[in-house]
Structure 1
Amino acid sequence: MNSVTPTPWPKDRVIPANSWQPPAGVRLISSDDHVLEVPHLWEDRLKGADKDRAPKFWKDETGFHMTVGGDSYDVPGLPFDFHEGREGFWDVSERLADMDAEGVEASVVYHGRAAGLIRMADKDFFIRCIDVFNEWMAEWKEAAPTRLFPVAYLPTFFKPEMTADYLHKLKELGFKAIEIPLNPRGMRYNSSEMDPMWRAIEESGFPLSVHIGAYLQFSGRGSLGANLNANLMPFTGMFGQFVFSGIFDRFPGLKLVFTEGGAGWVPATLENADKIARDYASELRPRIAHAPSWYWHNNCYATFMQDDVALENIDRIGADRILWSVDYPHPESILGNSEAIVQGIFDKVGDAKARQIVGDTAAKLWGI
């Protein structure tokens, strides 16, 4: 019977001394990492009446906690230190030390708890709370501005007409990357009402990331594993939505980064989507200008941590379409094993393609 060897929680992982060095000139850029917001962020920074109902985020002896209006926004079913126990999650000096130990030059950094605020009923208040988060992230990056590249959370999917002005603010704050949630409840990204947002993003030049979420689809026995398994493979539907609704045809300059869902899903998705486009060509509306796989190779990217399936299919996916990441400091991250995995990428796909995958494409995409 096959057995599973447990991986230590991130807080307990030891980064081994380097025994392999990448070839000269290789840039290691992690395209998906995370930062934990500072305690009391919203209580300290919101103003007026908003301050009285601010999300509460704090740390005690059991870990970090968040409540909004008295409701817990903690993730159920997991110990509080499962991914929030490594000090580099919130301590920049510890983070940089871990990056140095693994040879990581730069890090593209996503939210910690802020994305969970999407559950808030008052969407105007949600936008103001996200604004506080983005302003804090812009300050946070100044601790190491040539190494830390935070991803701003774009809250205007609720009000697409606000997007152009909000993106202007994000540029002034120094951001190079933005993200939107995968499946905001009650919203349809293929609606024509969203076109002002897509237009503004295209015109801004920002690459747009869509990060996996923590959706609790299953309950009962085995629900933790089932939910994690579903959450880590969510992007086939969204790729189809962007392609078949004509978003890429209307806004061909959009660059979409599918984040933390790996890239092994891509070959089968492209094969199936191309078949659908052929078999249902007379019925699909709107008519699309290209085969779905064309949009992948012209508009899309995916991040991965360890993905042998993707590497085995690299010529179908494109070495310029996938972005290596550590996913620091989540349990599924490759923290403590990055060197061996990067070495494996070079062994599997060769020097030229590996350089693209582990850093060059990220540098070009985000201007790092």
Structure 2
Amino acid sequence: MTSVVPEKRDIDPVAWPMDRETAEDDGWRPPTGTRVVSVDDHGMEEMHLWENRLKGADKLRAPKLWVDEDKRFHMEVEGASYDVPGLDSLLGEGRQGMWDRDERLKDMDSEGIDTSLFFHSRAMSLVRMEDKEFFARCMTVYNEWLAEYCAVAPDRLVGVGILPTLYQPEATRDYLQMMQDLGIRALEIPSAPKNVPYNSSKMEPMWEAIAESGIPVMFHIGAYLEFRGEGATGANLTKNLGPYRPLWSLLAFSGILERNPDLNVVFLEGGFGWVPWTLQDADWVYRTYESQLKPKLAELPSYYFKRQCYAAMMSDDVGLKLARDYDMADNLLWSCDYPHAEGIFGSSRSEIRKIFNVLGDEDGKKVVGGTAERLWNLPPLGS
């Protein structure tokens, strides 16, 4: 048998976000009435945020966030570096809109983005701290700053607060009320917290309180360094972009989704291609091992994803076609991931256009913003 050797092609590297320009405007616009919402963008926290805002003894041990003379950002906690090793921080944090709100809004305008859900850059890394009560106080400082930062343009910048009560689940209801009093309408919890079994009975107060609040819970990929040595950077990055098959399976098979039908769950930066494949396998596992599984579910696992779960894509040709073929456009969201390297800043309009070309106007409008507008009860543009 003669093997077919693929044609070798030159690799065309993508410019770093700090050097990207929005693609030339060809005049195309989404259908009238479309609100474009990127559900996953990032911004840098205020320099020296925790040093300046923590009080008393906390101030003496505050996490240190600063920028050096080369405009590279750094995080240090009690003498330990919290920078991600192996990557130049300018690659994902070098664009001015990362820290300059006016420049961010200009970039959003150039990309045709009406509203951006605004995620942290460094705050979630503090989940590594051993003192979890101190971690919670640091997150409160972050959430208060976030609310202030986004309040200047609440129709365009929607802050994603960090919920720190996974270490004290019974405090979730009160903490969520505090977040809502601040004006925060979106929230995140870690996707892979150490020593926190999300399916434990002690976590039920957290899931119940989140469901009761009506705020979708968001999971975001993280910078987890499993591999070392040759090829480790590429292997780690690729692995980190696909973490959700185990997490969603736990939420489904444990009955968390079934017991909390008002709980909406959003998976970010993992694309959509994993979803049909995972649902297919989960249903087969349930039918095959049903006699051995606890708890018993009233429906197959896929039912609960379709009822209350969502996954966001940036540029995902495979996932987009699968969403169409498996009639799952209602579970698909879109993001730019500004201004990270793996994000699509510079080509957002062409990716949005692709969504409409594949899904049509009705489903396209839902994916690029309509579903997000409903999930987060977004304020009208211009408010």
TM-score by length of 2: 0.95
Q: 2:349 aligns with which of 331, 339, 342?
A: 339
Distance 2:11 2:370 in 1: 34
Partner of 2:4: none
Partner of 1:44: 52
Deviation at 1:143, TM superposition (A): 1.9
Q: 1:160 aligns with which of 169, 175, 192?
A: 169
Deviation at 1:317, TM superposition (A): 5.5
Q: Which amino acid aligns with 2:62?
A: A
Distance 2:10 2:180 in 1: 49
Q: Which amino acid aligns with 2:51?
A: E
Deviation at 1:220, TM superposition (A): 0.7
Distance 2:366 2:293 in 1: 35
Q: 1:243 aligns with which of 229, 245, 252?
A: 252
Distance 1:258 1:79 in 2: 26
Moved over 6 A (4+): none
Deviation at 1:80, TM superposition (A): 2.2
Q: Secondary structure at the match of 2:92?
A: coil
Distance 2:59 2:9 in 1: 53
Q: Retained in 2: the 8 A contact 1:266–1:317?
A: no
Q: How does 1:253-268 map to 2 (within 5 A)?
A: 253-268=262-277
Partner of 1:13: 20
Q: Secondary structure at the match of 2:290?
A: coil
Distance 1:301 1:85 in 2: 30
Deviation at 1:359, TM superposition (A): 0.7
**Gapped runs of 5+ residues in structure 1?**
none
Quick one: structure 1 residues 183 and 317, their matched pair in 2 at CA, closer, same or farther if it must change by over 3 Å? Answer: farther
Distance 2:124 2:311 in 1: 20
1:360 aligns with 2:370: yes
Distance 1:252 1:344 in 2: 32
Q: Secondary structure at the match of 1:133?
A: helix
Q: 1:324 aligns with which of 329, 334, 357?
A: 334
Give the RMSD, CA atoms, in angstroms: 0.9
Q: Which amino acid aligns with 1:354?
A: G
1:285 aligns with 2:285: no
Q: Retained in 1: the 8 A contact 2:35–2:369?
A: yes
Partner of 1:23: 31
Deviation at 1:4, TM superposition (A): 2.4
Q: Retained in 2: the 8 A contact 1:17–1:101?
A: no
Give deviations 1:30-49, integer Å, cap 9, x for gaps.
Answer: 01101110100000000000
Partner of 2:213: 204
Partner of 2:83: 74
Give deviations 1:307-345, integer Å, cap 9, x for gaps.
Answer: 111111124261111111000000011100011111111
Partner of 2:63: 55
1:276 aligns with 2:282: no
Partner of 1:217: 226
Partner of 1:311: 320
Q: Retained in 2: the 8 A contact 1:310–1:317?
A: no
Instruction: Number of aligned residue pairs: give it.
Output: 368
Partner of 2:127: 118
Partner of 1:151: 160
Q: Retained in 1: the 8 A contact 2:272–2:323?
A: no
Q: Retained in 2: the 8 A contact 1:267–1:317?
A: no
Q: Retained in 2: the 8 A contact 1:178–1:207?
A: yes
Q: 1:106 aligns with which of 111, 115, 139?
A: 115
Q: Retained in 2: the 8 A contact 1:92–1:143?
A: no
Deviates more, 1:78-87 or 1:91-100: 78-87
